[in-house]
A and B are shown apart, each in its own frame.
Chain A
């Protein structure tokens, strides 16, 4: 009698270990869980500082929340606050905010190929997801999404983005109601949170030398273009700094080809 084979010849396939077979809602929930994080606290604290600024500038609670929820990118929110406070008309204010928000387009372009499943993900889902593109969620996504299976990335990002937005939105409202005339020191400390947090996490999200070179170029060129070409400064910073960083590192990578 032949000895039985050590492993049965027909065997149920093992589920893939990366979780790519899990239903989307599981990944949404994992995204929600990932949003319970230090970056969320830092961003909420930065928006608490913003709530103080909005209240001092005479905005109502509803207006403050509408700006936080609809615009979502904090630097653009601050520009809009300044434009309305300065009494700018609708069109000049829209131009000012649009110029301050151009960065969202290349950021979104850089994220989408990571987020989507080519030929499968409907475009409207990407359009919805794109609203969450702002520095915090973008940096987090660029750093972590590629560790997950492709099918999981969009639900994971949606869960993260939606819960981050909701949490920060609620904290902004609570801060607006509680913080009357915030003292200068905590207010200044809250306003410093955003740039220092962005500084560290942007470096953390940089995967290749071109990203790091671009970051250095942007830090140096940003203030320079702000003084030379206020209004269009960020656009020029991105185009000039990004092009220099790309060309410089490309030559280092592949020579003059």
Chain B
């Protein structure tokens, strides 16, 4: 790590750039939800925006991952995720099945390709 050398500096970073920078959105969400009703059109729109954002996070985690997953070919990651999602449907929406199949495809592909 670079930056200031004091032991507490990383904690200042974590509190300001981590905690405040994330919780501020949660607090704003509470304040902005105001008199929003569960079944209103505005609510459907807000849910759609939130869902699209989360889906964007998912796509980025698969296509542009962090850590050791970076060393795998993008096609293998997409295949693993697609097989997992298909298995999730085939199993009448059992999340465990989807996750397990995705992992099996990734690990199988890793071993077949002789990675790492």
Contact = CB atoms under 8 A, between A and B. Distances in A.
Contacts of A101: 21-22, 25
A35 interface: no
Contacts of B31: 123
Interface stretch (A6-14, A170-178, A207-215): A207-215
Contacts of B54: 103, 107, 135, 138, 198, 202, 215, 218
Contact of A202 (B1, B45, B51, B102): B51
Nearest to A182: B68
A162 to B, nearest CB: 15
B49 A238 contact: yes
B66 interface: yes
Contact of B98 (A73, A103, A196): A196
A162 B50 CA distance: 22
Nearest to A58: B1
Nearest to B95: A200
B26 A133 contact: yes
Of A56, A73, A188, A246, chain B has the most CB atoms within 10 Å of the CB of A188
Contacts of A112: 29-30, 33, 36
Contacts of A206: 51
A164 to B, nearest CB: 15
A108 interface: yes
Contacts, number: 340
Interface in B45-99: 45-69, 71-72, 77, 80-81, 84-85, 88, 93, 95-96, 98-99
A98 B25 contact: yes
A83 to B, nearest CB: 7
A116 to B, nearest CB: 8
B43 A191 contact: no
A101 B23 CA distance: 9
A185 B56 contact: no
A157 interface: no
Given A84-B3, A196-B102, A202-B58, A63 B25 contact: no
Contacts of B2: 87
Interface of A: 38-39, 42, 49, 52-53, 56-60, 62-63, 66-67, 70-73, 75-78, 80, 82-85, 87, 89-90, 93-98, 101-114, 118, 123, 126-127, 130-131, 133, 135, 138, 182-185, 187-189, 191-204, 206, 208, 210-211, 213-223, 225-226, 233-235, 237-243, 245-246, 250
Given A198-B58, A237-B55, 14 more contacts: A70-B23, A72-B22, A77-B18, A101-B22, A106-B47, A135-B57, A188-B110, A192-B77, A203-B88, A214-B52, A223-B63, A241-B53, A241-B55, A245-B52
17 contacts: A57-B1, A75-B61, A84-B17, A105-B28, A109-B33, A113-B38, A183-B116, A193-B103, A195-B65, A208-B44, A210-B45, A211-B48, A225-B56, A226-B56, A235-B53, A237-B53, A245-B51
Interface of B: 1-3, 10-33, 35-38, 41, 43-69, 71-72, 77, 80-81, 84-85, 88, 93, 95-96, 98-99, 102-103, 106-107, 110, 115-116
8 closest cross-chain pairs (CB), A and B? A108-B29, A218-B55, A222-B56, A242-B49, A241-B52, A87-B2, A237-B56, A238-B53
